[in-house]
Amino acid sequence: MAGEENGSAENNGYASWDDVYLQYDFGEPREIHSINLYRNGYANALNTFKRIKIEVFSNEDFSDANVLFGTADVEETAATKLAAQTINLTTPVTARYVRIWQKGHCIQNTNSSWKGYSNVVGLREIEVIAKLKDGETLPDAQETRNIALGKLPYVYGLAPTNIAAISDGKQDDNYAVHNSTGERWLQFEYKNRYRIHEVSSRAPIRWSA
């Protein structure tokens, strides 16, 4: 992020910022079938993600670059908010590198008329789906386990007291207390996909006369 996020594309420097990119090197060419981009979001706003371009190549000098999407803006709606932008390839492409471009975003509040530009690029997850190579297999099935154990959640609302107790694996009197009023939630984030079999929430029961 650079520059002030405000309503003017000129005054905050947006007009002069360069497009930026993330690039993956898979070490060898892979047969790519689809790409999923999961972006950041705001509770009371919608984004237009600016100047998105996705390209792949196998030569280090970029001489065989193949543009799979863009350059184009991607506008978020209430229905697509936090959903992936998916690029499904009718014909798979073989490439070693994937490069993802963006030039910040434009944000529009949904609870007011405020609008502003920013060069922030926020990505929650990037997935590149490829065909298995000969001799390559999916990971062996594993026994189920508690993937929330020891992880601190993101909190919407006031931070709970003793937050580490939420996921310490113990069901005792050492618990967290969340004192926010109105809507509030906890969110756990993982860097991989997991097949979830069960979600358990155990809270203390309080009686009052």
Total number of residues shown for the chain: 209
Contact status, residue 156 vs residue 41, Cβ threshold 8 Å: no
Model confidence at 206, pLDDT cuts 50, 70, 90, reads very low
Q: Tell me the C-alpha distance between 159 and 155, whole Å.
A: 6
Question: How many Cβ atoms sit within 10 Å of the Cβ of residue 155?
Answer: 17
Residue closest to 202 by CA, chosen among 156, 155, 146: 146
CB 50 within 8 A of CB 103: yes
Q: Which of 10-14, 20-24, 36-40, 150-154 has the lowest average pLDDT?
A: 10-14
Residues contacting residue 22 through CB under 8 Å, at least 6 positions apart: 99, 100, 123, 126
Q: How far, CA to CA in Å, does 142 sit from each of 163, 164, 194, 195, 196?
A: 29, 26, 11, 11, 12
Q: What is the 3-state secondary structure (H, E, C) of 58-83?
A: CCCCCCCCEEEEEEEEEECCCCCCCC
30, 94 contact by CB (below 8 A): yes
Choose between 163 and 56: higher pLDDT.
Answer: 56
Summarised one tens digit per residue, pLDDT across range 98-117 is 999 998 888 889 998 888 88
Q: Provide the total of helices (H) and of strands (E) in the chain, helices listed first.
A: 0, 9
Phi and psi for 16 in degrees, rounded to 5? -105, 0
Global pTM value: 0.63
The rounded mean pLDDT for the chain is: 82
pLDDT of residue 57: 96
- Does the pLDDT value for residue 190 go beyond 60? yes
The pLDDT value given to residue 209: 39
